[in-house]
Structure 1
Amino acid sequence: MSSFDLNDLGAQLEDVAESNASSGVSFAKQSLKLDTEEDALEIVKAIRACTNLEYLDLEGNTLGPLAAKAVAQALQENGSLMKRALWKDMFTGRVKTEIPKALEYLGSALCIAGTRLFELDLSDNAFGPIGIKGLANFLTSSSCYTLRVLRLNNNGLGISGGKMLAKALLDCYDNSTQGGSPPLALQVFVAGRNRLENEGAKALASVFQKLTSLEEVVMPQNGIYHEGITAIANGLSSNPRLRVLNLNDNTVGLKGAQAIAKALPNFKNLEQLNLGDCLLKTQGGIVLAEALGVQGGYPLLTELNLSYNEIGTKGANPLALAVADKEHLITLQLDGNLFGQTGRTILRDSLTVSERIGSLSILSDNSDDEDDDDEDSNDDEENIKENEEENEEENEESDEKDDESEDENKKNRDNNKHAFINDTALSKVTVAEFLKSPIGEKLLLLQGDVIQDFVNYAKEVSKHSKNTSSKLKFIEEFTRIIMKVSALSTSGYIDVRLKSQNLTDALYSKLCFFAMQSNQVPTWNNALLVNLGLIKAEDKNSGKIDWNLEGCFKALEIVSQKDYFLQEIRTTLIFFLQKPIRMNKMKVVDSFQHSKDSLKTVLCRIQNT
């Protein structure tokens, strides 16, 4: 097959322009390394020249304390109208001692300017608890009394950082009520991938209980068990306007499911509930299904994710019945459970009758066959009784034994999810060594500025290209790097999976920006299709695909929803994903069809919104 020209397809597309009434300054994703005040001069000039500075977007650059001080001075002079501080991924390569100082400069400047922030986004800055120390005074200041959106995703806060954040927000609430000012009314709170665990979750739950204004709470991958989940559910119960709740990849279990089910009636406007990969098991799934299935309840529900929860056959019908009257349901994710053939048939038949079958995503299954599934279902119930302390006896000694049993199971589960860290010698691996043998063990041992190391590697390879231009060779090589990294995004080890997903996101962002800046989008498009096996390479020496395409497709489900991902590429992918594989004019079985269909569903949904 010949290469595909994106321009031919692009000419047929409507050019949809997004209008944005707000004005401000953006240096987003320019990969600027700003160490000194002189380095920040361009940003300083832009801030001072903006007559209506409503936002400052510095995502994807790196600021040292001196550069932050210069930016802060400009904000102090012209930041009074600022509403949005968009400061994601702003300290790459900085040592931890630099970050608090930079944050203090920026926060103090906004306070002096009399800023009243609406949104603060500091996601993807791995500043840990020490970063919250640098933010604490700012978060309790009058500049944050008006805060409605707080995004602190992937900051490595840990338990202590979570507690410090909770105290700062509680102080902000108390301070805002003094002097007749309206109290803090936070609407969106995002704090995923922060290792908050139970104690951090409990601290933040006390904030939720006090606020009563939350509409969206996103806290996936935090190592929270049922105690923390119960605290969160209880705290959120005082927030009747809650629309979105995402606790993906925490250990909710039966007790956590019961707490959430108890809180659900408070959320009449619930639109999205994401409890994927939460070890609900069969009984936990049934408990939630019964809560969601109340007649006439949750009429605005558009998305329900209960995937990868080890839910057995007995949970299939209750789940199908739970969404039967949800007329606005768009996405129902139940893949990766243990329904077996019988359960999958029940689900599809019941959803067909209720006319909700269109919302069901790809329904993969982790059980081998129907008989095994029935056994798994029975084991689920027995394990839940043991692991979730389901005994109703009021014997204190029995409860203690159950606690010990559950703690042991938690440790075993965590050890399985983090096996590479425990079994691997802590020696540094270079990107060249990883690319030669791209396994999860080596991915975890990549250290330093890994993204830049990958960029440098691709540049070095492209220098030695004789038959193609350096830009073309760079894009081809960098695309192959992304494939090898993203192929690990479906690893069974959470450490590997998370690192793969984070690196994949950053690498795609880099490549997208480079392709646009160098007018090489068609080249990137062609390289992506070739390395996904969707078209044949014209160069027979380009090498075989020796990476796991399932991981690559799954990773694209995530990154294709990012703002940086080009709409032209989405449209091209849809076009080729729906074309069957043929060999000698004969249609053949595609082993990756499920993954392709799942990606296509996501892409089509994005295109239709």
Structure 2
Amino acid sequence: MASHDIAQLADALSKTHVGDGELSYKGMGLKLDNAESVEELVREMEQYQGLRAFRLEGNTVGVDAARAIAKALESKGLLQRCYWSDMFTGRLRSEIPTALRSLGGAIISAGARLTELDLSDNAFGPDGVKGIEQLLKSPSCHTLRELKLNNCGMGIGGGKILTEALIECHRQSSALGAPLRLRVFIAGRNRLENEGARALAKAFQLMGSLEEVHMPQNGISYTGVMALASAMRHNPELRVLNLNDNTFTKKGTLAMAQALRHLRNVQVINFGDCLVRSEGAIALAAVLREGLPILKDLNLSFGEITEAAALVVAQAVEDKPYMEKVDLNGNCLGEEGCEALREAMENMDKGDMLASLSDDEGEPDDEEDDDDHENGDDDSDDCNEDNEEDGGNVKENGITRKDDSPTKPQTSAEIMSFLSCPSAEKLLQLGEMRTNLQQQVDASDLHKAADVLLKIASLYSEEPETKAAVLETIDAVLKKLLSGSALQSYCFLSTLLVLMGLLKGEGKMKKVPLVPGQLLCLEHAVQQEYFPQHPALLLHTFVTKNSEALKSCSSARERLSSALEKKCHGQH
């Protein structure tokens, strides 16, 4: 070993922190190529009694050096925490698995019980995961609480290997009566994509012990997000969920919203740069209304959210006592929208919790709805009460229903005739059969429900018999659609707003030409007991922000706005 290198190592060792059971060589920039280069380090390890934490991050360790360090580790049965991030800079990718196997094998031989393993910022790819596979499956990891693999380039293959290792660890530890209870999982920037995310979701669901999940920037789109959402529901202690810079779109966001309804301990949600969009933001606002009691930090930045939807989110945090930060930066609010959002937060005495809006993208162009390529042409909504993939359930248009659920009543020819070509005359001819119209609407197809409602409302007139028939039918339909969770109600109303042209939706959805009768029916409905106050506030936000779109129905719009205003302020 060159005298310069020996001097460098001696100097580094003199600065080593050796206390509280921790031996640290953190950030020393040591180039440890062979056994000779680590002689001093190994000697210090051997002399250190009660080693519980070993820091090697910020150095570069070769295969032979790793073997020498591993030999010293074989006697360290009390070791619990390995901080080994950024440990292979400049090494051949083929060297890393061998080095990791040596270190992992030593931990197993020592009979150590790890609680934390950090291998972040080591670009080892799928082969690197193979290098820690045996360690993860061994009794040394039955006690693992924190696993950090950020920026390791695992890819789909590495994600699958990691999944199988975690499942095997859980199986073996469960057989011994102390199942693996991983609390913190960090794996950002790993190119896991949908296959890797779906694989890991199986392990997450099995463990059910996660408190923090960080998987930003992994190229995950809605199918992977849906799998992760389903898994999160089985982790009731979840506190932090960071999926920044993946691609949720509407389907992924609705699935995540459904999962979050069941979680009571979440404090931090980071869905920034996830293409949540306005419909997704409204769904998350519904969950804020009915759940997430101790949420502190919500990041929905850079999600193509428009002004009215951002205001709905702001309104939903009003009653959150622990809320500290709401980030809606980088969305599509425009200058006036940014000012309206700031004003809304100030009026709630929460102005200081709103993050900067300096990167706002400005109001979106008034162009035709984008065709969401990943959504295809399926416009069904996943806002039903339970979309778990449980046994005995079958999928219909993306919605799960119980296989033994009662069959829908046969639709009569008269009702089908009415729906295909609605008219006041046909509605009156239905007589008592009008109540069967509500059987044509349910939460598993909100697009159809909103379409039926608007068809019925378009028949409104001041002629007493027709008016009574239309309002009676509207009441029956809306009473059913607004009787579920806040999430279901908000999802229905956002679909209705898309059809009315007041909200830009995803996919191809033909807008309905608006007539005053539709707004007058809503004016009647919001005054009824069955119409909750919070959905009225949602409608009010969009009706007041879209006066141009309702120009042809200005008088009816004024009446609807007035009724919504009264409802929002608890007046009748």
TM-score strictly above 0.5: yes
> Does the alignment pair 1:108 with 2:105?
yes
1:217: how far off? 0.2
Q: In structure 2, what is the equivalent of residue 68 of structure 1? A: 66
Deviation at 1:199?
0.2
Q: In structure 2, do the counterparts of structure 1 residues 311 and 20 end up closer, same or farther at CA, with 3 Å as the change threshold?
A: farther
Which of the residues 91, 94, 115 maps onto 1:94? 91
Asked whether the 8 Å contact 2:18–2:24 carries over to 1, the reply is no
Q: 1:388 aligns with which of 362, 375, 378?
A: 375
The reply on whether 1:292 has 2:288 as its aligned counterpart is: yes
Answering whether residue 200 of structure 2 is matched by residue 204 of structure 1, we say yes
Tell me the secondary structure at the aligned position of residue 293 of structure 1: helix
Deviations 1:247-303, CA, capped at 9 Å, x for gaps = 000001111100100000222011100000011122122221222222xx3232111
Q: Is the 8 A contact 2:77 2:112 kept in 1?
A: yes
Please give the per-residue CA displacement for 1:475-530, whole angstroms capped at 9, x wherever unaligned.
xxxxxxxxxxxxxxxxxxxxxxxxxxxxxxxxxxxxxxxxxxxxxxxxxxxxxxxx
CA distance in 2, matches of 1:58, 1:35: 14
Q: Which residue of 2 aligns with 1:156?
A: 153
Equivalence for 2:330: 336
Which stretches in structure 2 are left out of the alignment for 5+ residues?
1-16, 382-396, 399-572
Cα–Cα, structure 1 residues 367 and 110, in superposed 2: closer, same or farther, change >3 Å? closer
Match for residue 133 of structure 2?
Answer: 136
Structure 2 SS opposite 1:328: coil
Q: Is the 8 A contact 1:339 1:365 kept in 2?
A: no
Any conservation in 2 of the 1:254–1:384 contact (CA below 8 Å)? no
Structure 1 regions of 5+ residues with no counterpart?
A: 1-18, 401-609
Q: Residues 511-526 of structure 1 correspond to what in structure 2 (within 5 A)? A: none
2:220 aligned with 1:233 = no
What count of residue pairs does the alignment treat as equivalent?
Answer: 367
Measure the CA separation in 2 of the matches of 1:141 and 1:302: 37
Deviation at 1:393, TM superposition (A): 6.8
| Distance (Å, rounded) in 2 between the aligned partners of 1:392 and 1:374 | 22
- Give the secondary-structure state (helix, strand or coil) at the position aligned to 1:85: strand
Q: Which residue matches 1:319?
A: 313
Please report how far the alpha carbon of residue 348 of structure 1 lies from its aligned counterpart in structure 2 after TM superposition.
1.3
Aligned-partner SS, 2:117 = strand
Alpha-carbon distance change, 120 to 33 in structure 1, aligned in 2, over 3 angstroms: same
Task: Determine the C-alpha separation between the residues in 2 that align with 1:107 and 1:350.
Answer: 55
How far apart, in 2, do the equivalents of 1:112 and 1:386 lie?
Answer: 52
Q: How many angstroms apart in 1 are the aligned matches of 2:49 and 2:55? A: 16
Equivalent position amino acid for 2:361 in 1: S
Paired residue for 1:82, among 74, 79, 83? Answer: 79
Q: Tell me how far apart the structure 2 counterparts of residues 223 and 260 of structure 1 sit (CA, whole Å).
A: 17
Question: Which has the higher mean CA deviation after the structures are superposed, 322-331 or 93-102?
Answer: 322-331
What does residue 515 of structure 1 align with? Answer: none
Distance 1:182 1:21, change over 3 A: farther
> 196, 207, 212: which is aligned to 1:216?
212
> Does the C-alpha gap of structure 1 residues 21 and 319 become closer, same or farther in structure 2, counting only changes over 3 Å?
farther
Which is helix-richer, 1 or 2? 1
Instruction: Give the SS at the match of 1:80.
Output: coil
Distance 1:330 1:176, change over 3 A: same
1:185 to 164, 167, 181: 181
Contact 2:225–2:252, Cα closer than 8 Å, also in 1: yes
Shift of 1:345: 2.4
Question: In 1, distance between residues paired with 2:377 and 2:295?
Answer: 30
| Partner-residue secondary structure (3-state), 1:39 | helix
* Cα distance change of structure 1 residues 238 and 360 upon mapping to structure 2, 3 Å threshold: same
Counterparts of 1:323 and 1:282, CA distance in 2: 16
Mapping 1:177-576, distance limit 5 Å: 177-178=174-175, 180-294=176-290, 297-368=291-362, 373=363, 375=365, 382-383=369-370, 388-389=375-376, 391-392=378-379
Q: Secondary structure at the match of 1:224?
A: coil
What is the one-letter code of the residue matched to 1:241? E
Instruction: Determine which of 139, 143, 147 is the counterpart of 2:144.
Output: 147
The amino acid that maps onto 1:121 is D
Shift of 1:387: 5.1
TM-superposed deviation, 1:384: 6.2
- Structure 1 residues 342, 200: CA separation in 2 closer, same or farther (over 3 Å shift)? same
Tell me the TM-score normalised to structure 1 length: 0.58
C-alpha separation between the residues in 2 aligned to 1:367 and 1:89? 36
The offset of 1:390, in angstroms, is 6.3
- Cα deviation for residue 21 of structure 1 reads 7.9
2:118 to 114, 121, 127: 121
Q: Structure 1: how far apart are the matches of 2:272 and 2:170?
A: 32
**Residue identity opposite 2:316 in structure 1:** A
